[in-house]
Amino acid sequence: MIHNQFKIAIRNLLKQKLYASINILGLAVGIASCILIVLFIQHEFSYDKFFKDYQRIYRMSLERIYPNHSTYYAIVPHSFGKVAKASFEEIEDFTVSSRFPNVELTYENERGEEIRFDEEMILAGDSLFFRVFDFKILNGKTENLLSLANEMVVTQEFAQRFFGDIDPIGKVLKIGENLEFIVSAVMQDVPENSHFKFSAVISNLGLPFLQQENFTSFSAYTFFKLREGVDPVSLEAKIPQLVDTYAAGQIERELGKSWADYKNAGNGYRYFLQPISEIHLYPSFIEAQLKPGGNITSVYILIAVAILILGIASINFMNLSIARSSERAKEVGIRKVLGSFRTQLIGQFLIEAIILSGIGVFLALAIAQIVLPYFNDLTERHITFPFSVATIGVFLLIVIIVGFLAGMYPALVLSSFKPTEVMKGKFVSSQKGQWIRNGLVVFQFWISIILIIGTFVIRNQMHYLQSVSLGFDKEHVLMVERGFSYGPQKIKTFVEEIRKFPEVENASYTFAAPGEESSFFGVMYQPEGASELLTAKSMVIADGAMETLGLELIAGRGFEESTQDSLYLILNETATRLLEINDPIGVKLSEVQDGPDGPVTISRTVIGVVKDFNFISLRDEITPLVLQNVESFGQEVGGQYVLARIKPNETQAAINAIEAKWKEIDPSQEFKFSFLDERLNNLYEQEKQTGRIFSIFSVLAIFVSCIGLFALSAYITSLRTKEIGVRKVLGASVGGVVLMLSKDFSKMVLIAFVFAAPVAWWVMEKWWLQSFAYRVNVSLWAILVSGVLVFLLAWLTVSYQSYKAASINPVNSLKS
């Protein structure tokens, strides 16, 4: 019986080659899109799950509560790990690590040559790091790693890159001028699907700051491995007592203010535990991440897109099957007269659907495999196709599910025909059949219009982020990196020299760069005669940096080379508003610092106010900012970045001249540069990537909808061939016939637009855009353009078939 049903199914599909081809193509494109999206989503959810017992590993993160806002940090005071382990039996193990980005390393090879190279990220970890995180050790020491102050573990990629085939164990690497480390082991490379990003781990025993007690400065990543069965929520609830016990006293000593008054002023620390497997996606607004994370909202959107595209492909199948029901009506009637049961007919139609689905899935796999390398380039991932017995089982299940879902309703409809009425074609001419068919078309284009509107909104937001004024001039600013390794005197000489170049308008150097959130550190000042604290971010700059960046001074003066500015401050507008002082110029702010004999209070004077500018990201509101001069930290302090404003159309000449001067002053230092506007644009790479993915799959959704509409319009037009012939004999024009045949489909697209517009507005306005403090609104223009675009595509698709039918000689139409 089943064998016979398969033969009949294949025969029916071969009889209707156009119908079968369009169905298979629609299903294949829809399923291939789903496969790619599912692979991407699976990859996003796989982060850090390769660690043994990853379910029990949590990162201690922080919500720093200020009087007027909160900021979230992935780094916390490094001493909390040790006291938490001692205080709470729920913690089985802990490890503390710190990051060191853009580190210069030196290595002396066998020929006595000193080799210098830069590393993007190095970690400093304790002796428990490799006990909590079971990275595989490939070579060298395997026990008690990082237990010695001069130990270093490097990745396999690091070892191959710098030592080649030479055994790296025992090699000495130098960081800066004073820190030497010996390679004790080579570990596996950090997998791509990890929130960790480093090429080496050094022992933190050789770093004095990390050995000092600290419960207030945010300095380290702290991870806990909980015991089996421990509820992280109950453990998290106990952390405030650690803050009261250990941090309160340090804050009181540093500020000369009681812990109760400090909290009553609106300050606070809320520590919480993040599962390591959720760090990549939840939440995206935490500062000081080891590497940029994903976004769970974007993942949810892509899940919805995958479901919707598959839904469109399935609707195509259902719609074409229902539309073709008149052709199968006689077959159904004859089968019933000859004794076929309804279950047999349902089985026949389901087998046809499953065969169609199987061919579609096979073609989809081929398409996905071919497209995957390009998809990896688009998403900047290294996703592979997991061929295995389990994978084959999953795709067989997809074949059955898609075939069943897409074929069940048509099977039920076709098998329900009554033999006595089937020859009358009552179903085809009934309102019920038309309503079902039209409803499915409306639903298809409802989905497509939502996706297109979403694509326009994402693109508008990305354009806004790249074009909106940040409060300073980001264009034509060259940033030379690694200023620290150049030394304080050389960096000053370098800046003085490049200012003389005709291609350079201005130059200076800074500790912090806009968009580089890790280079802005927190500070607390107490206004003279007030009990409240001003909590702010600090940006340390040299003379001339404000002019080089194009910051706008709205009151007072800036830092000047002719004056000693070590005790002066410049505030942004937000900070002055918090002080609630009409004229902040001349106001004294006290800062408490640790001195050799205990806390020391330093009084600083506000000399200027700078217009608010976005110094980190447009995802966040502008917060209080204090500009300090490098002179505040002594004369022997340089900077991390050299900034040079280049004259328009002089970029390459300026780069060549600046690089030549850099090498002239110190040939041993590598010249590494970037442009400020490019760095700021890279802050939104995740959102741009989401936009690109969304655009591609929106186009695919429209494509699948239109090929379904193409086939459906061809079939509906064929049913009205004689009607068209009669109308043309009676004087109807080709344009009139095209308009008549197209208007019903046009109505459906308009109805879809009416229902899609508010849904798309709600999803984008109330959901996706909420992650940006500075954002566009979902404009009427984006909605209307999306609707017009989809309407035109649908109309062109239908009108082609309509024009083709209307152009036929009416004599031939009436003879057929």
DSSP character string of 732-778: --HHHHHHHHHHHHHHHHHHHHHHHHHHHHHHHHHTGGGG-SS----
Co-location of 573 and 711 in the same domain: no
Residue 82 lies in a domain: yes
pLDDT, tens digit (0-9, with 9 covering 90-100), for 706-759: 777 777 776 677 666 777 777 767 777 777 777 777 777 788 888 989 999 999
Co-location of 147 and 222 in the same domain: yes
Residue 531 is predicted with a pLDDT of: 66
pTM, two decimal places: 0.83
Co-location of 241 and 340 in the same domain: no
Co-location of 321 and 356 in the same domain: yes
pLDDT, tens digit (0-9, with 9 covering 90-100), for 474-511: 999 999 987 777 777 888 889 999 999 999 999 999 98
Residue 49: left if φ>0, alpha if ψ -120 to 50, beta else—which one? alpha
For residues 800 and 714, is the Cβ–Cβ distance under 8 A?
A: no
For residues 285 and 86, is the Cβ–Cβ distance under 8 A?
A: no
How many whole angstroms separate alpha carbon 336 and alpha carbon 331? 9
Structural domain including 186 reads 54-278
Residue 747 lies in a domain: no
Residue 86 lies in a domain: yes
**Amino acid residing at 398:** I
Residue 742 lies in a domain: no
Co-location of 506 and 614 in the same domain: yes
Domain boundary among 278, 307, 341: 278
Best CA proximity match to 454, nearest among 618, 697, 617: 697
Q: Which two tokens stand for residue 597?
A: 């004999």
Co-location of 315 and 449 in the same domain: yes
State the residue for tokens 């830069």: 118
Residue 12 is predicted with a pLDDT of: 65
- From the CB of residue 395, how many other CB atoms can be counted at a distance below 10 Å? 17
Alpha helices (runs of H) in 416-561, residue ranges in sequence order: 419-422, 426-429, 431-467, 483-486, 488-498, 545-549
Co-location of 397 and 439 in the same domain: yes
Handedness of CA 599, 602, 603, 607 (dihedral sign): negative
How many whole angstroms separate alpha carbon 171 and alpha carbon 131? 24
Domain boundary among 658, 682, 706: 682
Residues in the chain where the model's pLDDT stays below 50: 427-429
Best CA proximity match to 702, nearest among 713, 710, 690, 714: 710
**Amino acid residing at 625:** L
Q: CA dist 123 to 89, 153, 198, 207, Å?
A: 28, 10, 6, 12
Q: Which two tokens stand for residue 652?
A: 């390459």
Co-location of 115 and 258 in the same domain: yes
Question: Number of helices and strands (H, E) in the chain?
Answer: 28, 22
How many whole angstroms separate alpha carbon 97 and alpha carbon 99? 7
Co-location of 460 and 539 in the same domain: no
Name residues whose C-beta falls within 8 Å of residue 444's C-beta, 6 or more positions apart in sequence. 312, 315, 316, 319, 705, 708, 709, 752
How many whole angstroms separate alpha carbon 71 and alpha carbon 522? 10
Domain boundary among 225, 244, 278: 278
Name residues whose C-beta falls within 8 Å of residue 197's C-beta, 6 or more positions apart in sequence. 120, 121, 190, 290, 291
Residue 429 is predicted with a pLDDT of: 47
Co-location of 73 and 58 in the same domain: yes
Mutual orientation of helices 780-806 and 721-729 as an angle, nearest 10°? 80
Task: Establish how many alpha carbons lie within 13 A of residue 712's alpha carbon, considering only the half-sphere containing its beta carbon.
Answer: 29
Residue 11 is predicted with a pLDDT of: 66
Residue 51 is predicted with a pLDDT of: 95
How many whole angstroms separate alpha carbon 362 and alpha carbon 407? 18
Co-location of 326 and 436 in the same domain: yes
Q: Report residue 95: phi and psi, to 5°.
A: -150, 150
Q: Which two tokens stand for residue 343?
A: 């279950």
Residue 47 lies in a domain: no
Residue 305 lies in a domain: yes
Which residues share a beta bridge with 522?
Answer: 537
Residue 816 is predicted with a pLDDT of: 54
Co-location of 635 and 490 in the same domain: yes
For residues 461 and 776, is the Cβ–Cβ distance under 8 A?
A: yes
Q: How long is the chain? A: 816
Tally of domains in the chain: 3
Residue 746 lies in a domain: no
Residue 810 lies in a domain: no
Q: Which two tokens stand for residue 386?
A: 């997991």
Q: Which two tokens stand for residue 710?
A: 């193409």
